Structure 1
Amino acid sequence: MFSTETTGLDTEKDVVLSIGAIGIEDGKIIVKDSFDITILQEKFNPEVALKNGILNNSKEKISQEEAISQFVNYLGNATLIGHRVNFDIAMINQALDKLQAGRLKNEALDVEIMYQKWQQLAEDKQFSIDELATTFKISKSDRHTASGDAYITALIFLKLKQRLKL
């Protein structure tokens, strides 16, 4: 599971603020196998930081190059699972492109698409992570942080995996 917090939704102009990930093995969330990093920003926008729970002095931040490098090493060849995962992958790939470091080649699964298949809904019907969490009675107390969203997505994934019998 992984999630990013970004300055916006434009994969060309916006940047990654933080990356959160958590491992799943044998149908269980492995809390000790987690990744949570905040990227040092050249320009600090308090409005974006407050929305994403990233305050200028909230925790240690590292350079984008170091953060992306650590994340790619953390991932290895794991399957990337997320909510609207293609956006998060595009944001990581944009950062990798700037570093001239290739692109992610990992397989990916999207919990929103899994939900659509389970409910037999059209792919154009969208569901926010909040709506999916509510459907499965999952607490949203740590929303809008990359690591919090990754954890909520992990819980959603496990519920969907069970229902889809994957």
Structure 2
Amino acid sequence: MRDSYIIGLLGRTRNNIVQKLQDLPESKRNIVPEGFNNSIHWQIGHILTVTNFLVFHFAGKPSVIPDNYPTFFGPGTKPADWTEEPPAWDTLIAELSQQVELIQEHFEGHLSDPVVVKENFAKAETVDELLVMNLGHENSHAGMINSLIKVLA
């Protein structure tokens, strides 16, 4: 698989998410509608956090997000459990784009490299397999964001 293809696909997915959120009123960002566990604010932080773990951690690279993000946005977390203010919306939106740039900087030309964390739940053996797993996860949450936007309309 070409590096430019998979990294470009990740970039387009992220751009689509950011575009959908540009016009979202501030008053709707932190609402958790009935039948949902999380807000759109949580969704974007979760995408950043899981990408950091799936791609950077399993590939043996240093974290590119603040240490407290998993506390707010890791698997199994939800806004109802937050005891302090989460990272700001505008910060998370900016980091969505920056993270794609960091992936390109760290991994372009190295997608066929073996993962460092061999025992991973994704069963990934190479960096490109991590990116494919991540894209599946990210698209799932893009769908949740779309659902939340419709419910909150």
TM-score, normalised with respect to structure 2: 0.32
TM-score, normalised with respect to structure 1: 0.30
More helix as a share of residues:
2
More strand as a share of residues:
1
The one of the two structures with greater contact order (alpha-carbon pairs below 8 A, sep at least 6) is 2
